[in-house]
Structure 1
Amino acid sequence: MSDKVKNLIVRAITGALFVAIMVAGFLRPHYMVVLFAVITGMSLWEYTGLVNEIKGVRINRFISTVAGVYFFLAIAGHRLGFVEGFSIFVPYILTIIYLFVSELYLKNENPINNWAYTMLGQMYLTLPFSMINILAFQTNERGEIMIDMLLPLSIFIFLWTNDTGAYCCGSLFGKHKLFPRISPKKSWEGSIGGGL
């Protein structure tokens, strides 16, 4: 069996397990909140680890991750009606202020870069994951909470379909590199196949 076939089988099995876990999460709203809180935390932990490998950059991995998970859970609690008002976001804001102020006293090489990378993680990872709560938990005109898991699940289905199409078409027909400097294995054929 060739390496390409082995890679395809491993990807298919991993993808099927991932899809099963995600779909099960969308069937139970509270499980979905816990699942995506964990995904948010793991994503931020990975992001901060990668960023800290850049020369001259040092961000607080633990506090950035905890702040992001807290923000996700605060949005979920607010949308599910567990918490009224916006006071639940005060600890998050205070944590971000702490990260900014502490940077001034740590004597790191470039505190502005550290601030920028900290906020990029919050905006690039935490905010989009938190918006899943906005899509899933709606309030009707009578003030009742409506749980609609179909909309956020459909976004993931479209993403998975695009990725699968791009991978299959790129593996079979890919000859023209899309962005060789950024992602050397991506091809125009794969990109078009994903779109289709």
Structure 2
Amino acid sequence: MLKTRLLTAAVGIPFLIGMAYLGGVYWQVLVGLLAAVALLEFLAMMRSKGFHPCIVSAILLAAVILFRIQLAPYLPGLFLAGLLLMIIGLVLTYPQRNINDLALSLFGSVYSGFFFSYALALGSTDGAFYLLLLVFILTWASDVGGYFFGRMWGKHKLAPRLSPGKTTEGSAGAIVLTILAACLCQYLPGNDYPQGSVLLVMAVAVSIAAQLGDLLESSIKRFFAVKDSGRLLPGHGGVLDRFDSFMLVCPVIYYFLVVL
């Protein structure tokens, strides 16, 4: 299992960094595919639990949300059209579909479309490669720190009902390693990362967001009673399993380094 995970990571990490470096349409296509697969995984989990997802309208809504910046002038109308399509589908298929199916389908669209839209936003900024590289490095640092600190010193459960393996010691370790990684990132050639207290606050916020993303996805899997969101990535599960932290880190980096 560990060998498979490492092999997938050895292929996937250079691929992600390479696509971020190429940027432009390459990055947009990759993010679009990731968001699409994430949504399909969510809808498949719905179906496995006996729900009836609103597939077509959910995909359309997710696409509108994902490309909300590019579609900004038309966003309200397109979102309303997608929502109305979902409601019409509910009315026409009731009682096979009910309000729970609509609510879950809508959540899946927002979850996959909204958070991945920040990956697109980061990819369209000046210095996009260095911003995306920072997202990758800090997300991975948080995940690795949480895993190893938890394995070595973890005693107190962080959220036992959601993720029994998570500990407060692991959470603290995730924050520590993220701060360390952020400090080291300042020495990357060509970067324009913040310094001092801003960097420290950003690193803490990133690690908290990464852990919340992990716990959110754990709550989704527990609700649907599944172990993994999918099987696309050998040893890692699905796209949601692997990119849950990334999805919440992107908006944090965006607002710290682009908006503020």
Q: TM-score, normalised by structure 2?
A: 0.59
What's the offset of the Cα at 1:172?
Answer: 2.4
Counterparts of 1:17 and 1:171, CA distance in 2? 25
Q: For residue 55 of structure 2, what is the aligned residue in structure 1?
A: 61
What's the CA shift for 1:58? 1.4
| Residue in structure 2 matched with residue 127 of structure 1 by the alignment | 114
Do the aligned residues in 2 keep the contact of 1:43 with 1:125 (CA within 8 Å)? yes
Per-residue CA shift, 1:56-81, capped at 9, x if unaligned? x3112354235424543x347x2xxx
| 3-state SS of 2:52 partner | coil
Number of aligned residue pairs: give it: 175
Tell me the residue number matched to 2:129. Answer: 149
RMSD: 2.5
Identity percentage of aligned residues: 22
- Structure with larger RCO (C-alpha < 8 A, sep 6+): 2
Are 1:41 and 1:65, in contact at CA under 8 Å, matched by a contact in 2? yes
Residues 1:95 and 2:63 aligned together: no
- Is 1:117 the counterpart of 2:104 in the alignment? yes
Task: Output the CA distance in 2 between the equivalents of 1:25 and 1:10.
Answer: 22
SS at match of 2:164: strand
Question: Which letter maps to 1:125?
Answer: S
Q: 1:22 to 1:89 in 2, by over 3 A?
A: farther
Give the structure with the larger strand fraction.
1
Displacement, 1:48? 0.9
Closer/same/farther in 2, CA of residues 189 and 10 from structure 1, 3 Å limit: farther
Give the direction of change, closer, same or farther, for the CA distance of 1:194–1:152 in structure 2 (3 Å limit): same
Match of 1:105 among 92, 100, 121: 92
The aligned residue for residue 14 of structure 1 is 8
Displaced runs of 4+ in structure 1, greater than 6 A?
A: none
Choose which of 148, 157, 163 in structure 2 pairs with 1:177: 157
C-alpha spacing 1:172/1:17, structure 2 compared with 1 (3 Å):
farther
The equivalent of 1:33 in structure 2 is: 28
- Point out where structure 2 has 5 or more consecutive residues left out of the alignment: 177-260
1:128-167 Cα distance to aligned partner (Å, 9 max, x none): 10122222224xxxxxxx4623223322321111001111
Larger Rg computed on CA atoms: 1
